[in-house]
A and B are shown apart, each in its own frame.
Chain A
Amino acid sequence: MREIKANQIKEKVKELFLQANYHIDQDLTQCLQKALKEETSPIGQSILRMIIKNNQIASSEEIAICQDTGLAILFIELGQAVSIMNGNFIQAVNQGVQEAYQEGYLRKSVVDDPVFERKNTKTNTPAIIYTDIIPGDKIKFTVMPKGFGSENMSALAMLKPADGPEGIVNFIIETVRKAGPNPCPPTIIGVGIGGTADKAMVIAKKAIVRKIGEHNQNEQYATMEKEILEKINRLGIGPAGLGGKTTCLAVNIDYLPTHIAGMPVAINVCCHAARHAEGTL
């Protein structure tokens, strides 16, 4: 067994949430710059310029890219040969989130009761934590501060197998069209196909963190990603929904085996401030 202290987990989680909230990845920056060159709408161009400039300011001054610093999402791959010492794993993760949001001047956006009291927990916890137990003696963290302007545009369809790829493409295009300007385009669209209703949405969310420009390794799915991206960008929605050809930067599909009777399709939408960070202990 390899021993990892709860405090190391807390520190790593804290570091990653600070990094994610201040610094946009290079691949996304390059993608935005390329979109700016190709955008034909003058309003769209000015919006893309503002977004690029915003991300530069946030990074150089270490301030939040977006005021919606999101719910704290973590995908954790926990090696089965790791023994966690001197503390509780979940508490350590939440403690790391709390310290990042309190010490990093990030907004606390969690309410305890979704319907009645809606009282802010003032810590931005509890975090949403997905843990996979894997072989090995390491812990890998993928963190994602997820804003709700885009999260609110998510959708799930329990399609029939007979709906086929065409049904999937239509559902995604229709969801993006209806969302219009609301999820802060240009967006990244995470799609989860298969599994169950719940699992499809989890893999859709995780698909958002894929490096821009990479595609599903299965060629048929990769082709579908490219086709959907092209169709979305023909909708004309554009940056901030004010018209243009830059509506979506990437469509990332992941899939899982599913039941003979079903074809769940989950869409998790992410704004252009697609913030995430990865780290390993």
Chain B
Amino acid sequence: MTQAKKTTTPLEDKNVKELKAGDSVLITGYIYTGRDAAHKRLIELIKKGRELPIEIKGQIIYYVGPTPAKPGYPCGSAGPTTSYRMDPYTPTLLDRGLKGMIGKGLRSQEVIESMKKNKAVYFGAVGGAAALIARSIKSSEVIAYPDLGAEAIHRYYVENFPAIVVIDAAGNNLYETEPPKYKQS
């Protein structure tokens, strides 16, 4: 594989444009966590016209529900969860300025269209590599919905978080382009 690209958060349109499907990246900066229950709450707030507990403009949301941290560790094991469960909520967040998502697995066509429209990027992290990924998470704090436990919105400071650009802002999608290269009839 080619050398990993260093990427920092928050993301701007010009950073997003440089990220191409297939790029290996190391992300540094603050990222936010959120999965099923937190997404549901964020969307309910948007529907009611209320303010969100986090400013999502330019940010990356990592789909993760970590294990509790062992004493001495900033964070527990924290690998990605399957992204399609967030698909119904994602276009609304992209319209509000969300620039990146880290997860694993397929996205819906609606999400991909919204990513193209809003210039956003979908990073894949390796599912099940939770102990390894956690090493790049240097701090963790709960920002919203502490009652959700592992599903609360956390803010992580990450250094060289390993990910791959799976779907870029032009809609290039590794899940579509890579497997056919290795398919044998």
Contacts and interface: CB of A to CB of B under 8 A. Distances in A.
The answer to whether A and B belong to the same complex is yes
Contacts of B126: 47, 50-51, 54, 240
Contacts of A181: 104-106, 124, 175
A41 B174 CA distance: 13
A272 B134 CA distance: 18
A14 B164 CA distance: 37
B181 A149 contact: no
Secondary structure of the B side of the interface? loop
A54 B136 CA distance: 12
Contacts, number: 164
Contact of A40 (B84, B105, B182, B185): B182
Given A42-B1, A47-B126, A67-B78, A107 B132 contact: no
Interface of A: 40-44, 46-47, 50-51, 53-55, 57-58, 61-69, 105-109, 118, 120, 122, 149, 152, 180-182, 184, 234-238, 240-245, 271-273
B180 interface: yes
Given A107-B76, A238-B178, A243-B174, A61 B131 contact: yes
Contact of B67 (A57, A107, A149, A238): A107
B179 A243 contact: yes
A218 to B, nearest CB: 28
A63 B79 CA distance: 13
Contacts of B68: 105-107
Interface of B: 1, 22, 24, 37, 64-70, 73, 76-79, 81-82, 84, 104-106, 124, 126-135, 149-150, 162, 164, 166, 174-175, 178-185
30 contacts: A41-B178, A51-B126, A55-B131, A58-B77, A62-B70, A63-B70, A63-B134, A64-B77, A66-B127, A66-B130, A67-B65, A67-B66, A67-B77, A68-B65, A68-B79, A105-B70, A106-B67, A107-B68, A108-B149, A149-B105, A149-B127, A180-B179, A182-B105, A184-B128, A236-B180, A236-B184, A240-B127, A242-B164, A243-B179, A272-B128
Given A50-B129, A64-B131, A66-B79, A241 B67 contact: no
Binding site secondary structure of chain A: loop
Contacts of B70: 61-63, 105
Nearest to B69: A105
Nearest to A237: B179
